[in-house]
């Protein structure tokens, strides 16, 4: 019986880099060496799907076409800044560059309310001027200094600064520093604990008046001074067990008086 020999393919060495990677490496080398704009354009076309993918992550927050345009601009900027000799893959370099540009776009264009385009542009120009001037001066510039640098009126600068508040309005629940260093939330409706304490005090006062002076003192030491039953006993010359019985008895008396008070008020 004839035996058929199975043919095993001769293993082919796998290249360390794919053909596409080698082509992109040649394009980057040509562009960096000669400034070949055709190589630059081909690189942009090759990596445009990456820019579109990153832009689509944010499409719910803005116009899709605008985001793709911003991402494409950032892609070209990444191509210009990329240094192949550093050994970093271009995609690893481009992704943070593109996402950073997209985030800056939302920072500069994410207005909370509708603002006329002219005012938007003026507000952004004033902010950039203020940042640059502040860096030079080492402090926050005055509206007059910003107006001088921009060759405009102080009124125009003040209007732009007021308009800029629509970019990131204060949250109602944003904490502010109170006079004693604590944080408060004045814009949020909340129940004031002091009202409840005052109401409870007004309710308890007539009930406590019905107790003996010793029982009132024991309750005061226990619940206002926060002393233990042993500490109360040491002050009043009583045992801890005796103090415990007096506390329970006084509380039971208050509960009984509180239950009788509505009925008495109704008669």
- DSSP string across 99-145: HHHHHHHHHHH--SS---HHHHHHHHHHHHHHHHHHHHHTSPPPHHH
**pLDDT the model gives residue 47:** 92
pTM here is: 0.38
**pLDDT the model gives residue 190:** 45
Angle between helices 64-81 and 37-56 (to 10 degrees): 140
CA distance 48 to 40: 12
| Residue pLDDT tens, the chain, 267 long | 444 434 444 444 444 457 888 888 899 989 988 888 988 999 989 899 999 998 888 776 556 778 888 889 999 999 999 988 888 888 888 998 898 888 887 766 655 555 566 777 788 788 888 888 888 888 888 888 888 888 888 888 887 777 666 555 444 445 555 455 555 544 444 444 454 555 555 667 777 888 899 998 998 888 777 788 888 988 899 998 899 889 888 888 887 877 776 544 444
CB count within 10 Å of CB 184 equals: 13
**pLDDT the model gives residue 263:** 44
**pLDDT the model gives residue 261:** 62
Task: Name the strand (E) or helix (H) holding 209.
Answer: none
DSSP state letters, 26-92: HHHHHHHHH--HHHHHHHHHHHHHHHHHHHHTTGGGS-HHHHHHHHHHHHHHHHHH--GGG---HHH
Look at residues 198, 216, 197, 196 and name the one whose alpha carbon lies nearest to residue 257. Answer: 216
CA distance 103 to 55: 10
Residues 6+ apart with CB under 8 A from 120: 109, 111, 163
CA distance 32 to 40: 9
**pLDDT the model gives residue 186:** 45
Q: What rounded mean pLDDT belongs to the chain?
A: 75
CA distance 30 to 40: 9
């Amino acid at each position: 019986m004839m035996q058929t020999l199975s043919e095993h393919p001769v293993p082919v060495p796998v290249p360390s880099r794919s053909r596409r990677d080698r082509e992109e490496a040649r394009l980057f080398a040509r562009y960096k060496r000669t400034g070949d704009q055709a190589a630059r354009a081909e690189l942009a076309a090759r990596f445009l799907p990456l820019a579109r993918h990153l832009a689509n992550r944010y499409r719910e927050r803005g116009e899709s076409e605008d985001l793709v345009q911003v991402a494409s601009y950032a892609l070209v900027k990444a191509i210009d800044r990329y240094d192949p000799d550093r050994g970093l893959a271009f995609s690893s370099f481009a992704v943070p560059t593109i996402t950073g540009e997209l985030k800056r776009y939302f920072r500069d264009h994410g207005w909370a309310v509708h603002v006329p385009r002219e005012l938007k542009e003026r507000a952004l120009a004033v902010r950039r001027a203020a940042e640059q001037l502040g860096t030079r001066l080492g402090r926050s510039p005055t509206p007059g200094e910003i107006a001088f640098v921009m060759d405009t009126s102080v009124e125009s600068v003040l209007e732009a600064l007021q308009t800029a508040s629509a970019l990131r309005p204060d949250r109602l629940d944003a904490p502010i520093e109170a006079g004693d260093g604590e944080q408060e939330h004045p814009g949020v409706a909340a129940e004031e604990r002091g009202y409840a304490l005052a109401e409870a005090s007004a309710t308890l006062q007539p009930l406590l008046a019905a107790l003996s002076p010793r029982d009132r003192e024991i309750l005061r030491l226990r619940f206002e001074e926060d002393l233990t039953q042993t500490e109360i006993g040491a002050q009043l010359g009583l045992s801890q067990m005796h103090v415990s019985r007096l506390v329970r008895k006084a509380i039971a008396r208050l509960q009984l008086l509180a239950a009788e008070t509505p009925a008495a008020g109704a008669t």
